[in-house]
Structure 1
């Protein structure tokens, strides 16, 4: 599962960071980065038996900064067994930044703390005469 998440994050970051073709003017370069660390612990099984379950443990993060499209986001997540913790930030179209800290475990399920920073910018309506 962690590898699927990493591959998805890498593909999204690569697609977003791709230079825009067909535009005659210069734009600032997009930036993306990804990092993953797997800390798999081999399963312990009695001799002669194969254990399908191993203790899942990983940590990953990614970041996208594209000034041309305004796509600004980061994510960091770690897992140790059944405990997952992480956060992500996302620059919203209205100029605010959404910040979400989340956790998940068997006892309490999934929990998220969502905050917004900044002031929303709303376009003025155009009047037609």
Structure 2
């Protein structure tokens, strides 16, 4: 600690002894003494060092941008719909949905590969949740697709078995300080 204080004192003394330190407060630099020679040599004039002129930093006051919150609609509403009918690919589908008074009403329909029209009509709200009604109408256009019957296999419910619990203990050892 004493070495640090000594080092700090030496650094301060060196900074104060540097030329030009007193210039900032208006003191003159030390005068130059001419050597004493037999012939006449003029001594240089005393130099006065002026403190450098620094401009004060310019501070600009900039107002922060005012952020306005967008108003919130307590009863939002929307409505959209679209449809596709492509005769080249046979893709036919449409959808529509509206939101009014917190209840969503919508529907979509499509023509299935076997030619049947599938229409789904739905409603959704915070109280009843999402409810959909699916309708399949129309006759098959073109060749019917053969569907193999699916055999119903009933498997017994799995029985839950508890796995054995491994218990690990540390060997008993004496405390090193005890």
TM-score (structure 1 length as normaliser) = 0.52
Offset from partner CA, 1:41-83 (integer Å, 9 cap, x none): xxxxxxxx94664232111110100011111011111012421
Q: Secondary structure at the match of 1:119?
A: coil
Query: Which moved further from structure 2: 53-62 or 104-113?
Result: 53-62
Of 36, 43, 64, the match for 2:84 = 64
| 2:139 counterpart (114, 119, 128) | 119
Relative contact order: is structure 1 or structure 2 higher (C-alpha 8 Å, sep ≥ 6)?
1
Structure 2: state its 5+ residue gaps: 1-67, 147-178
Looking at CA atoms only, which structure, 1 or 2, has the larger radius of gyration? 2
Q: Is 1:88 matched with 2:88? A: no
Count matched residues.
Answer: 77
Uncovered stretches (5+) of structure 1, i.e. residues with no partner = 1-48, 125-129
RMSD over aligned CA atoms reads 2.3
Q: Which has the higher strand share?
A: 1
Give the Cα separation in 1 of the matches to 2:105 and 2:98: 5
**Aligned-partner Cα distance in 1 for 2:102–2:144:** 42
Greater shift in the superposed pair: 78-87 or 61-70: 78-87
